[in-house]
Structure 1
Amino acid sequence: MRTMPRGAAVEVGGRRIAFYRAGDGDPPVVLLPGAGLVGLEYDNVLTGAAALTTVVTYDRGGTGWSDPVALPRTAGAVATELRDVLRAAGLPGPYVLAGHSIGAVYARRFAQLFPADVAGLLFIDPGHEDILRFLPPEVVALNERMKPTWDELPDLTPEQLEASRAALTRLYAEWPADVREALVEHRLETWRTGIQEGRNLEDEVYAELAAGGQLPDVPLIVLTAADRNPLWARSMPPELLERAHDGINALHASIAASVPRGERRLVEGASHQYLHVQRPGPVLDALRDLLARVRA
């Protein structure tokens, strides 16, 4: 494992998993990163939520400062690893799981497999196996045509690397300097990891969740990023773009309605990948509300 700029390593199954912890109190909040992202990219939420309760995040095996593991993985493997990490870290549940993007998918699988360990759920712009049912047929067809051939993606040019370094440095400008620098360089070195993690999402992982059963009856908040998908915006006329985002809104409302205590919230001024960076306030508000409902 490369030197971690912060946090500690928890050993699980012969592998070391990077683990970050702050705050004190129950129930603990567990932040599950999106694909290609790592625990340190949620440092602002970790710090903010630490005023409310114990809060932790981590790097899944094969990502960040954790030991390598073959990617992609099943959602069950990721969920089981997380349960083992939390146990090895001496952090008993039940937990409020806050998953972002594919992290929400893994949080949902955790809740299916270990419902007694879940006190509440926060899904931050989540994916779902029913997404194609909510999108206009034209968008489904466009997405299929635009899928890249992942194995043929070229390496980033020096110019692209420098542009990405500058953009990431701006994005994480408020992070402590040592964390920011390590995080930016890590992202530039491992930019293919998110692609590798998500390669089995649409077939294997979504099928796994569809067959996994209902969520437990716990408080759930679903956050939806209101900003337009830039790839869609470059490829669709405005009317179709609106219909596509209406479909995402309807999907997220459906996820929230799948449990008795579910709620959906729209987050203005936020994009899918960086909602937690651009608008940490609504994320912390949702965690505060979930904690209050669980404690009540």
Structure 2
Amino acid sequence: MPHQSPPLGCHYAVDGRQLMLHSSGSGGPTIVFLAGVGLMSLDYLNIHNRVAELTGSVLYDRAGNGWSDPVELPRTAAEVTDELRELLRTAAIPGPYLLVGHSLGGAYARHYARRFPGEVAGLLLLDPFHEDMAVRAPLRARERLDQMLKQMQDQELVELTEGQIQHSRDQMAPHFATWPELVRKSLIERHLATWRVASQENQNLYDAVADEFRRAPDTPDVPLIVLSAMGHDVTQAHLWPEELLREINDGKRALHAELAAEAPRSEHRILDDAGHGWLHEERPDAVLQAVNDLLRWAR
């Protein structure tokens, strides 16, 4: 994955690698977005711009993803959170931070808060990954998950044809139509160049990384909101039979309620009209409301 200049933001040197960070707005606590698997910094640009009207806001790409330099994947949660901490220091981003983490990024945000509690003012977890999602899922879901992980590893060896690349490009273009023109084309091309990252990051997620999360200290006493996306998601609907997906979502709802219960100042909010992958685009109002509430509580 060659080094490229991002359409927005700057590169900062961390542990011998160049990491992309883009900041906007002013004031605190500073919002820091942590992307989910398969997504990258500028996928959150629209919500970032709206948050930056309220306070300082940061987007970044962890190593191996987006416009940051390559790294051997998969990695541990400690490596990912150590890297983010050093990047924020290097870029002189003032704390404390209100971490907004989506999917796996939500688990990393929670891990950061548990490891460095004095640096975190609050947590907003957007349909976050939970370390017990697999072990508490129905047996047939675990079997299907094992099959999907094997398929993803096999796909890493596949080279896409020019026709497949163009087909993917055409499919993504309508989705990114609301992004600024400066960013749109570059973001699509970066997705096409980094499509293998999702499977690589997932390789140790359900065993080694899940165990890291289980062994971490308790969640600190900071304001916490968990948003659970229970609406239709095109990717999820493609991967799971309808009946099994309902069971998975029921289990997810219960785990998210347990996450919210980890902190005394917390809320668990259900979004019945947003899917997992793009809830920040489908329900930006709910994300902004949660950010506003957390800023008020933290301040």
Range into which the TM-score falls when normalised by the shorter chain: over 0.9
Per-residue displacement from partner, 1:119-143 (whole Å, max 9, x unpaired)? 1001111111111354333433333
Structure 2 residue 267 is matched with structure 1 residue 256: no
Per-residue displacement from partner, 1:47-96 (whole Å, max 9, x unpaired)? 00011100001011111111221111111111011111111111221110
Q: Quick one: which of 244, 248, 258 aligns to 1:244?
A: 248
Alignment-mate amino acid for residue 85 of structure 2: R
Q: In structure 2, the residue corresponding to 1:6 is in which secondary structure?
A: coil
What is the CA–CA distance in structure 1 between the aligned matches of 2:249 and 2:162, rounded to whole Å? 35
2:12 aligned partner: 10
For the 8 Å contact 1:169–1:184, the answer to whether it is kept is: yes
What is the CA–CA distance in structure 2 between the aligned matches of 1:73 and 1:110, rounded to whole Å? 15
Of the structure 1 ranges 272-281 and 115-124, higher mean CA displacement relative to structure 2 is found in 272-281
Q: Quick one: which of 32, 35, 60 aligns to 2:34?
A: 32
Q: In structure 2, the residue corresponding to 1:252 is in which secondary structure?
A: helix
**Identical positions, percent:** 44
Q: Quick one: which of 219, 224, 228 aligns to 1:224?
A: 228
2:198 aligned partner: 194
* Aligned CA distance change for structure 1 residues 247 and 5 (closer, same or farther; 3 Å): same
Per-residue displacement from partner, 1:129-158 (whole Å, max 9, x unpaired)? 111354333433333344433332133344
2:219 aligned partner: 215
What is the CA–CA distance in structure 2 between the aligned matches of 1:145 and 1:55, rounded to whole Å? 38
Gaps of 5+ in 2: none
Q: In structure 1, the residue corresponding to 2:269 is in which secondary structure?
A: strand
With normalisation by structure 1, the TM-score equals: 0.93
1:233 Cα deviation from its structure 2 partner:
4.1
What is the CA–CA distance in structure 2 between the aligned matches of 1:245 and 1:50, rounded to whole Å? 32
Instruction: Kindly tell me the number of residue pairs found equivalent between the two proteins.
Output: 295
Alignment of 1:168-179 (within 5 A): 168-179=172-183
Q: Quick one: which of 88, 101, 106 aligns to 2:90?
A: 88
1:97 aligned partner: 99
For the 8 Å contact 2:115–2:217, the answer to whether it is kept is: no
* Aligned CA distance change for structure 1 residues 95 and 239 (closer, same or farther; 3 Å): same
1:189 Cα deviation from its structure 2 partner:
1.4
Alignment-mate amino acid for residue 15 of structure 1: R
Structure 2 residue 282 is matched with structure 1 residue 278: yes
For the 8 Å contact 1:134–1:248, the answer to whether it is kept is: no
What is the CA–CA distance in structure 1 between the aligned matches of 2:46 and 2:19, rounded to whole Å? 21
What is the CA–CA distance in structure 1 between the aligned matches of 2:144 and 2:151, rounded to whole Å? 15
* Aligned CA distance change for structure 1 residues 44 and 231 (closer, same or farther; 3 Å): closer
Q: In structure 2, the residue corresponding to 1:132 is in which secondary structure?
A: coil
* Aligned CA distance change for structure 1 residues 132 and 4 (closer, same or farther; 3 Å): closer
Q: In structure 2, the residue corresponding to 1:241 is in which secondary structure?
A: helix
What is the CA–CA distance in structure 2 between the aligned matches of 1:53 and 1:219, rounded to whole Å? 17
* Aligned CA distance change for structure 1 residues 65 and 230 (closer, same or farther; 3 Å): closer
Alignment-mate amino acid for residue 115 of structure 1: P
Q: Quick one: which of 123, 126, 129 aligns to 1:127?
A: 129
Alignment-mate amino acid for residue 13 of structure 1: D
Q: In structure 2, the residue corresponding to 1:227 is in which secondary structure?
A: coil
* Aligned CA distance change for structure 1 residues 160 and 271 (closer, same or farther; 3 Å): farther
Structure 1 stretches of 4+ with a deviation exceeding 6 A read none
1:287 Cα deviation from its structure 2 partner:
0.8
Q: CA RMSD in A?
A: 1.9
